[in-house]
Amino acid sequence: MKRVGVLALQGDFERHLAVLAALGRPGVEVRTPADLGRVGALIIPGGESTTLLKFFDADRWWGPLAGFARTRPVMGTCAGAILMASEVTHPPQPSLGLLPMTVERNAYGRQLDSFETDLKDHALGGGPLPAVFIRAPKILKAGEGVEVLARHRGRTVMARMGRHLALTFHPELTGDDRVHRYFLEVAANP
Ligand code: GLN
């Protein structure tokens, strides 16, 4: 399989590349739409979705990303998940619509702005899964065909539809590589 690309415009892309390298599967920085042609799967990291949207408009990412996602796997974390949703609220903003789900930005309020927790309700196996939430969104509703892979307090925080994965937390900050290994499996058998 071609290497996994990490969208390297803004946000936490370096830590994702570090996790992939530690797994013996070094990734590739994707900095221009043309770079998508060199990778077999893509990670859209957390960061600030509004900033990423400015890049998407300025450098004409929309068509190439939509085309890429039609046949290849994409994993979005936090801001990346916001960009993958079909509907964004608080406030509304454009998104790629790779999974039928509605996402509310900055949904945990000030006191819980950022927190770390161990997810017990998840499908990856191997016991509690550490997760870091940073100004995280909430998945308010998910449509038909969306598989829930992890929940926090009953609410979906990791979802899959076919070859696409969306999670509202940062898996690259915990030292636990299960989410990345899961995505590599998805990418190997999309
Ligand atoms: N609050 C950010 C946004 O709405 C996402 C935060 C993150 O990616 N950690 O884009």
Query: Which CATH number is 55's domain given?
Result: 3.40.50.880
Mean residue pLDDT of the chain comes to: 97
Structural domain of 91: 4-188
Residue 143 is predicted with a pLDDT of 96
Q: Is the CB of 134 under 6 A from ligand 1?
A: yes
Indicate the pLDDT class of residue 187, thresholds 50, 70 and 90.
very high
* Total domain count, the chain: 1
Residue 9 has pLDDT above 90, yes or no: yes
Ligand 1 centroid–CA 1 distance in Å is 30
Q: Is the CB of 156 under 6 A from ligand 1?
A: no
Ligand 1 centroid–CA 11 distance in Å is 9
Indicate the pLDDT class of residue 100, thresholds 50, 70 and 90.
very high
Q: Average pLDDT of 150-172?
A: 97
Find out whether 45 and 5 touch, Cβ atoms under 8 Å.
Answer: no
Q: Whose CA is nearest to atom 4 of ligand 1?
A: 105
Residue 4 is predicted with a pLDDT of 98
